[in-house]
Amino acid sequence: MATTKLILTTDIKEIKPISDNIDSVERINPYIIEAQDLDIRPFLGDPLFYALVEGFTASPQNTDYLALLNGKSYTTSCGFTIFFDGLKIAIAYFAYARFVSSQGINITRFGVVQKTNEFSQPVTVEMVDRIAGNARSVGLSYLHQVEEFLDENTTTYPLWRQSDKKRPRGKFKITSVKNY
């Protein structure tokens, strides 16, 4: 598990509203680390992921890593100029999805509890699942942009596609069809 965070809680707050009363270190940062390790690392593959984390830590101003994280305009092999948004926004959406899924839960010495007060009402599990699923879907869309960028820039990112890795695609696979 990498402990270097490639994004900050402010990156998440730029895409989705989160109360300022929430302790970002305690409540949000674990989900940033999980999103990096469980969503981004399998997508990039270990060689590129570790090069990105190490490169970002050693040289935060490295333009190749900054472009991969923050996005940039680039010209495709077909001559089209395209802007891609970078990994940061994908990580932010994945971390937000993980955060939303467990936000209403607190673990206390009395067990797992859901906090409520007289001025609010908890939303249904279905609504939380829908919000988290939507955020995950958006994160997958941004990962698709990253994949296209990396495919077009393999000389700059030679560690891309170096291993057979399964990437989350956000698609489903039909395993059988039954006639009724």
Taking only the tens place, the pLDDT of each residue in 102-112 is 876 666 666 66
Q: With a threshold of 0.95, does the pTM exceed it?
A: no
Do residues 94 and 138 touch, judged by C-beta distance below 8 A? Answer: no
Give the number of domains in the chain.
Answer: 1
Query: 65: burial class by Cβ within 10 Å (0-12, 13-18, 19+)?
Result: buried
**Do the domain assignments include residue 78?**
yes
Phi, psi of 81 (to 5 degrees): -90, 125
Q: What is the pLDDT of residue 163?
A: 53
Judged against a pLDDT cut of 50, whether residue 24 lies above it is answered with yes
**Do the domain assignments include residue 141?**
yes
**Do the domain assignments include residue 174?**
no
CA distance 1 to 173: 29
- Over residues 59-66, the mean pLDDT reads 82
Quote the DSSP letter at residue 123. Answer: P
Judged against a pLDDT cut of 70, whether residue 162 lies above it is answered with no
- Other beta carbons within 10 angstroms of residue 41's beta carbon come to 19
CA distances from 154 to 39, 68, 123, 138, 158 (A): 21, 12, 45, 25, 5
**Do the domain assignments include residue 168?**
no
**Do the domain assignments include residue 159?**
no
SS3 content of the chain, % helix, strand, coil (to 5): 50, 10, 40
**Do the domain assignments include residue 3?**
no
Q: Which domain holds residue 66?
A: 9-111+123-152
**Do the domain assignments include residue 176?**
no
CA distances from 98 to 30, 73, 82, 150 (A): 9, 29, 30, 26
**Do the domain assignments include residue 4?**
no
